[in-house]
Amino acid sequence: MAGPASSNRRDEEALELGTFRGESEPGAESDSAQSRLLNQERASARTEGPSYAGAIAPVLSYCVASISMTVINKFTVSGAGFTMNLLVLLCQCAVGVVMVYGAKLLGWIQLRELNSRDIKTWFPISTMLVFVIWTGSKALVRLPLTQQFMDIPIYTIFKNLTIILIAYGEVLWFGGRVTRLVFSSFLLMVLSSVVAAWPDINGTLQSTSLHPRATPGNALGLYTPAPSAGSHIAAPTAAAHLPKLGQNGYLWMLTNCLVSAAYVLVMRKRIKLTGFKDWDTMFYNNLLSIPVLIIMSLAVENWSSETLQRNFPEDRRYGLMFAIFLSGTGGVFISYTTAWCIRTTSSTTYSMVGALNKLPLALSGMVFFGNKVTIYNSLGIALGFLAGVLYAVGKNKQAESSRLANSVATGVESSRQTSGGGHISDPKGVIPTHNRDHDRQE
């Protein structure tokens, strides 16, 4: 009798564990399948939300690449009257393409083969990149013996306004959300730029009461206080064109903001559409920009021997060529980290990081390059830092809200609905047959 009783106890234990020899307990299979579905949904909810811990590496990499590229370009095009920015960008793209393709031939990286579908899909992105560079240079242009459209600090204010355009573009295109805290960080970032640029803004406002004084080195002259009745300061007719030049500068700046926002948003959308990896994005971006840059440079930049001599003087020519090559290698890094940052975070975060990059650059200028420290630039840097902290806090709170919503959804709704869309009548009941088949197909 002991033998059969012991066997019955083992059978009962096996039945409770769902491992009875022979036919399984009714509903055990459905409970197991149900658990798998719930686990899949919870895992999907976790992976669908942005991984902010995983965003640290791309954000920091983009910061290092952006700051390095800014410093390299400063030494590359800092010569007086340098006007061939598109030619420099053309050389940078060519160097980047050669380096990346060489890495592919050596087996270090993998690239998607060129095909007409991807070229047609990505060509508008490369074209917009060229127009971002070109409209930005037109807003900041300083040509010898001609005019200056806009000061760099005022230019920076408008560039930071682009962040707001991108944020609300994400709301329309990607279903994003701008919380009050995040929007406050945008306003604070713009305010920091206004404070830092206030001396320039004040000088621009006061220039309406100033007369240009003609000098041999400047067709528009140097600004001096309005002359008294007895003075003999020439006021050239170019003064009549000053308002028009300012309007042109703001028009170019507005165009640059719109094109920059469109470039970042469309790039994010096309990365998802094409399924590009980061190296694919970098390679296509640089390769497809080359024909556009050739056409644009020939059309808008004067390739005369005089212009080439002025932009590449003999005493600096080889140094400039080496700097352009070096900036091309840096362009590989910044193109890769740009794609990485946009893919793993969001277009808004990418733009906010770009704005915050100006803070260490401003500090390094004060510490290492002897830039004058004023109450305005110091307060501007402090406000910019505060804007970055506020943005990070706002994004973290937004992420926590998303995770909480996903938890509620998967904990309540997922127990009543399968990943295939069919409803489960009871949490411990049997999954309908059509849902089982759907699960097997997946």
Amino acid, res. 285 = N
Rounded average pLDDT per 10-residue block, the chain, 442 residues: 52 45 46 50 44 69 73 63 80 89 88 88 89 77 41 65 82 82 84 77 59 41 40 42 52 85 87 81 88 90 85 82 82 76 70 63 58 75 78 75 72 42 38 40 42
Q: What pLDDT does residue 240 have?
A: 44
* Those residues with Cβ within 8 angstroms of residue 45's Cβ, 6 or more apart along the chain or in another chain: 406, 407, 409, 410
Q: What pLDDT does residue 293 have?
A: 92
Angle between helices 375-408 and 358-368 (to 10 degrees): 150
Q: What pLDDT does residue 335 have?
A: 74
- What gap in Å lies between CA 354 and CA 351, rounded to an integer? 5
Give the per-residue SS3 of 128-153. Answer: HHHHHHHHHHHHHCECCCCCECCCHH
Q: What pLDDT does residue 300 have?
A: 84
Using alpha carbons, select from 94, 14, 55, 149 the residue that is nearest to residue 342: 55
